[in-house]
Structure 1
Amino acid sequence: MNTTNNIPRDGANVSAWQNNVAPLTADIENTHALTYDCLIVGGGITGLTAALLLQNAGKKTILADANRIGFGTTGGTSAHINTFADTTYTEAESAFGEEGAQLFADAVREGFDLIQSNVNNYKIACDYEIKPGFLYAETDDEVEQLRDIYDGALKVKVAVHYSKDVPTPVPYKKALVFDEQAQFDPIKYLYALCKEYVNAGGVIKENMLIQGLETKDGVHTAGNIRAKNVIYATHMPPNINVFNFECAPYRSYVIAVKLKGDKYPDALIYDSQEPYHYLRTHFINGQYLLLVGGNDHKTGHDDPEKAFAELEKYIRKYYRVSSVKYKWSSQYYIPVDGLPYIGKQPLAADGIYCATGYNGNGMMLGSVAAKILSDLVQGKNNRYADLFNPARVKPIDGFTEFVKENADVAYHFVADRFNFKETDSLKRLQPGTGKLVEVDGEKIAAYRDDEGNIHALSPVCTHAACIVNWNGEEKTWDCPCHGARYDIDGNVLTGPATRNLSKIEQ
C-alpha cells in the first residue's frame, strides 16, 4: 500500500492524486499591506475557482488554507464530472418545482462547463478526458428508480438514453447512459489554478487557520488580514452555524486497484445499490488503475475498516484484482432538502459568504458555487442565487449562542478536572490503535503510538460538545454529530471545529 505523500491530508491514507504531485512552495506568495476586496478561506475547488474569477475581475484577493492546497475533500475526490447529480432532477422538481429543477440542471451543467473551459483556456494538463457515464439497475425496484431518473433528466433537457451494453461484468437488468461525462486529476487541476491565480496577482497563504472574524465599519479582520468580503469555501463554514443542523456529514471510500490483464473499463460506471458503488479507470504513475468507490456512511458512525474491506470484497467479486495500490476516504455533506447552500451566510455580518451541502457532486457544484459567490462579491446578479440561497434555512432564534456556550463549558469540564495515569484499560491499548477509555471515572480519547507512548485527549469535540469516535483506518478522532475530525494529537483536520482537542498531560 502506497502511503508516501507530498501533500499532507486529512487522514493516514493518501489519495492517488495527493501522492503524485510536488507540493507548493513559499515563493507562490505575494505580499500586500492592504485591505483586500475578498478573503477566500479554503484551498479546494470552490475556493481556488472563486479566487481566480475575482482576481481576473480586477479584485484584490487573498486565499488562506488551514493546511495545504488540496489537503481536504478536493484532494480526496474520485474526480467524476457529470451532468447528473445525486439529488435526481425528479427529486429537485418535487422540492423546488419545475423551474427549480431546470435551474439545478443548468447549474450542474455550468459547473461542468467551467471546469472544461478552464482546462482548455489555461491548457491544463490534468488528464481531462470525456467518457460515457453508465448507470445500471440490478433489481426490479432499481429499474423503477432508473425510469424515474430517465424521465427527470429528459424533462430538464439533460441528454440520456437507455443502453443494452454496459462495460461491466456485473449482471444487470437495465441501464442508462449519459454521454460526454468527464474525469480528471483534481490536484493537477487545482495546482494549475494556483499558478494562474498567483500570476494574476493573487496571494496564497497555506497553514493559516482562520478561527473567526471581527467586523468593524464593513471590514472583516482575521489575524493580520483585512478584507471587505469573506468567502468560506471550507466545505462547511466554521464554528456553530445553521448548516450544522441542515447538512449531514458522510465519509466515502475509494480504493485504486491494479487488475490482472488489461481489461479496464473505458467509462464512468455506477450501480443503483444503497449505498451505491462507482468506478472508473485512470492512468497513474505509468500504469492503469481501476478506482472503485462507495460504502458511504455518516462520519463517526459505523466501521471504516469494514467499509474498506467490503469495497475490496465487492471489486474482487467481479474483477481479477492483482493488488490494491491506494485506499483513502473523503468527506462530503448531504443537504436536508437536496440542494447546496450558496450565498450570504445566515446570522453573519454583511459581506460574509459560504457554500456547503454539495452531496457527492463537489466538482460541478463547487465550480458553479465559485461563480455564484464571485458574482455576489462583485454585486452582480446570478440566476442561481435565489435557488441556492442559504436564507431558505430558518434558524432557531438564540440556539447558536446556546450551543456555543455549552460547547465551551463541556470543553473545559473534561480538560481541566482530572489527572492522567495509565490504568488497566490503557495498558490493554495496542500500539497503533486508539480508543475511548476511562481514567479516574472519566472518559479520555487515548492513542498508543508505535513507540508505546500514549496520546491522551479530551474526547469532547470543541465544536458542539459531542464525544468523538476513533477512526482506525485514517487514525483520526471523528465527531459523529457535525463531522469535525482531529489527528492523534488533537489538531483539527476537518471543520466545523476551529479549536484543537485539549491534551491531557501525563
Structure 2
Amino acid sequence: MQTDKTVTGRDGGNLSPWQDQPNVSLPDNTPTNNLVYDCLIVGGGITGLTAALLLQKAGKQTVLADARGVGFGTTGGTSAHINTFADTTFNEVESAFGKEGAQLFADAIAEGMTMIKRHVDDLEIDCDYESKPGYVYAESDEEVKQLDDIYEGAGKVGVAVQYASEVPTPVPYKKALLFDGQAQFHPLKYLQALKHAYLDAGGRLLENTRIEQTGYEDGIHLAGGVRAKNMIYATHMPPNINVFNFECAPYRSYVLAVKLKSGKYPDALIYDTQEPYHYVRSHIVNGEELLLVGGLDHKTGHEDPEKSFADLEKYTRKYYNISSVKYRWSSQYYVPVDGLPYIGQMPFAEKGIYCATGYNGNGMMLGSVAAGILADLVSGRENKYAGLFNASRIKPMAGFTEFVKENADVVRRFVADRFSFRETDSLKRLKPGTGKLVEVDGEKVAAYRDEDGVVHALNPTCTHAGCIVNWNGAEKSWDCPCHGARYDIDGKVLTGPATRDLAAITQS
C-alpha cells in the first residue's frame, strides 16, 4: 500500500503526523570550550529535554546533544497517550516489588502526567493537550480475568477506575473498564516548546552531534568537545555494550492514522486486552480529524514489518469505514525484564553518569518522571522514586524467566543467523526499492537497490554486539534482532545502542 506521507532520514522511513511539520532553524549555540558544565545531557527526546530544562531552571549550566534533532527518535514516533495506568499492571509490580513498590509506581505515573500538564499550563504550550476518558475492554473469558486483575490492582493503589456499561467502539466485547482523566497531546509541539524554554533559560543545544567516545579525568567527563561534571544518557537505550542489553528487549510498534467516511470519531482513548493489543484514539492533524489505530507490537527485527502494517490495516478496515490512510509509521520501545524502568547512576560506569531506559510502552509519563529523578540526582537531592527505579537494582526472582528467555533468544540469533544463512539470490535479482541479505562470493551482504537501480551494499554485522541485521521494508532500514540498533540504507546509525555505522562494501 502506498500512503501519502513518506520521507527518509527520520527514525524510520515513514513520517508520523507529529513529524509532519517544518524543522525550526536554531541559532548558533556552540558551547564555550573552556567551560565545565554541570551536566551534559545526551538525547533530545522527552526525557532529555525535560531533564535539561529542569536542571537549567534550577541554576545549573547544561548542554544537550542529539545525534540528529529534537524529536527524531521515539518521542517523534509515539502515539502520545498520557495515562494513569501502565503496560505493567499494578498487581504485577506488587508481586515483584511489594505493596509499597506498587504504590510508588502509581504515584510516579501520576507525577509524570502532572509534570506534562504543569509544563503545558506554565509555558502556555499549544500542543493539542486534551483530557479524555480511557476504556479498556475484554473480548474473551481469559481477557476478562486480565481485566479484573487490572481493576483490582488499580483500586489497591488508589487509581480511579470503574466498570463501564458502554464503550465507544464497534468491536464486540464482554466487559470493560473506564479510567477517567486520561489525556493526549501533540508530542513534538510539546517538545519544541520545552526546547525554546530551555534555550531561553540559557541552555546550550547541539543537534546533529553524536556522542561516540567519552573520557573521564579528575572528576570531569569529556565527550564531543564538552567537559561536564555529570552526564545523562537519555537515548532510550544507553550506547554501546552495557548491562541493559541483557535486561531490556527492543520492540517495534505500529500506528495508522486514517480518515473515516462517517466523520464520527471516538472522543476517548480505547484499548483492548489482546496479545499483542490494539489501541484507538482521535486527533486533529493539520485541521483534519483522524483516527489513530496502533498495536501489533513485536520484537525488533523478528517479524515482517510490512505484514504488520497490512494486518493493522486489515484490522482497522474490519471495524471502521475508512476513506483513506493518511499516515503509517512505527516506533521502538524497550521492555524491562522485571516490569519497571531503570533510572539512575549507570552500573559499571564512572560516577556521575546517569541513564534512563526500559519505559515499556509508557514513555510519555515515565520519561517525564525519569527526567525529574535524574535532575534531582545531578543536583544532589533525594527523590522518593530513585530507589524503586534504581538502575543497579538486582531482583533475583522478578522477571527471571523473562530474562532467561530474552537472552537465550539473543544467543540463538547471534549463532543461528551466522551459520544457517543460505541466501542464493544474487544482487542482479534484487528489485528496486527492496533490501535483502544476499551472499556474494561466499560473503554475507546487506544489500538495498534504490529506485534508480543503485545497490547500497553493507556489511550486515551489527556494530553493537555482532548480530546479523534484518531488512525492514516498511521503514527502509536494517534492524538488529538482538538489541534493537537500526541503520539506514547507507549504514548510518538511526538508533542505538550502536554508535558506529555499518561498513559499506565497495562493489568491483
In which range does the TM-score fall when normalised by the shorter chain? over 0.9
Aligned to 1:256: 257
Of residues 2, 5, 8 in structure 2, which corresponds to 1:3? 5
Alpha-carbon shift at residue 261 of structure 1 (Å): 1.9
Identity %: 71
> What do residues 304-357 of structure 1 show as CA deviations (whole Å, max 9, x unaligned)?
011001100111111111100000000000000000000000000000000000
Judge conservation of contact 1:255–1:293 (CA < 8 Å) in 2.
yes
Distance 1:487 1:130 in 2: 37
Alignment of 1:209 with 2:210, yes or no, is yes
SS of the counterpart of 1:390? Answer: coil
Aligned to 1:39: 40
Distance 1:461 1:452 in 2: 25
SS of the counterpart of 1:343? Answer: strand
Change (3 A) 1:241 1:393: farther
Distance 1:433 1:66 in 2: 27
Aligned to 1:304: 305
Look up the equivalent residue of 2:32 and give its one-letter code: H
SS of the counterpart of 2:18? Answer: coil
Aligned to 2:238: 237
Alpha-carbon shift at residue 25 of structure 1 (Å): 1.4
Alpha-carbon shift at residue 29 of structure 1 (Å): 2.3
Structure 2: runs of 5 or more not aligned: 397-413, 419-423
Aligned to 1:161: 162
Judge conservation of contact 2:6–2:13 (CA < 8 Å) in 1.
no
User: How many pairs are equivalent?
Assistant: 481
Judge conservation of contact 2:134–2:268 (CA < 8 Å) in 1.
yes
Change (3 A) 1:108 1:424: closer
Q: How does 1:257-406 map to 2 (within 5 A)?
A: 257-393=258-394
Alpha-carbon shift at residue 4 of structure 1 (Å): 5.6
Look up the equivalent residue of 1:307 and give its one-letter code: S
Aligned to 1:29: 29
> What do residues 360-386 of structure 1 show as CA deviations (whole Å, max 9, x unaligned)?
000000000000000000000000001
Distance 1:27 1:16 in 2: 26
Change (3 A) 1:394 1:223: farther
Look up the equivalent residue of 1:96 and give its one-letter code: F
Alpha-carbon shift at residue 504 of structure 1 (Å): 0.6
SS of the counterpart of 2:331? Answer: strand
Structure 1: runs of 5 or more not aligned: 396-409, 415-422
SS of the counterpart of 1:158? Answer: coil
Aligned to 2:91: 90
Judge conservation of contact 2:31–2:63 (CA < 8 Å) in 1.
no
SS of the counterpart of 1:326? Answer: strand
Alignment of 1:189 with 2:190, yes or no, is yes
Alpha-carbon shift at residue 31 of structure 1 (Å): 3.9
Distance 1:435 1:9 in 2: 21
Judge conservation of contact 1:13–1:327 (CA < 8 Å) in 2.
yes
Distance 2:243 2:426 in 1: 38
Judge conservation of contact 1:55–1:202 (CA < 8 Å) in 2.
yes
Change (3 A) 1:28 1:159: farther
Alpha-carbon shift at residue 212 of structure 1 (Å): 2.5
User: Structure 1 segments of 4 or more deviating over 4 A?
Assistant: none
Look up the equivalent residue of 1:444 and give its one-letter code: V
Look up the equivalent residue of 2:199 and give its one-letter code: V
Judge conservation of contact 1:10–1:71 (CA < 8 Å) in 2.
yes
Distance 2:332 2:4 in 1: 21
Alpha-carbon shift at residue 285 of structure 1 (Å): 1.0
Judge conservation of contact 2:6–2:14 (CA < 8 Å) in 1.
no
TM-score by length of 2: 0.93
Alpha-carbon shift at residue 2 of structure 1 (Å): 2.8
Distance 1:315 1:376 in 2: 44
Judge conservation of contact 1:64–1:204 (CA < 8 Å) in 2.
yes
Change (3 A) 1:393 1:25: farther
Judge conservation of contact 1:28–1:198 (CA < 8 Å) in 2.
no
Distance 1:148 1:141 in 2: 11
TM-score by length of 1: 0.93
Alpha-carbon shift at residue 394 of structure 1 (Å): 8.5
Alignment of 1:129 with 2:130, yes or no, is yes
SS of the counterpart of 1:262? Answer: coil
Alpha-carbon shift at residue 163 of structure 1 (Å): 0.5
Q: How does 1:475-494 map to 2 (within 5 A)?
A: 475-494=476-495
Distance 2:83 2:43 in 1: 23
SS of the counterpart of 1:291? Answer: strand
SS of the counterpart of 2:499? Answer: coil
Distance 1:132 1:322 in 2: 26
Alpha-carbon shift at residue 32 of structure 1 (Å): 2.6
> What do residues 256-277 of structure 1 show as CA deviations (whole Å, max 9, x unaligned)?
0000022100000000000000
Alpha-carbon shift at residue 213 of structure 1 (Å): 1.0
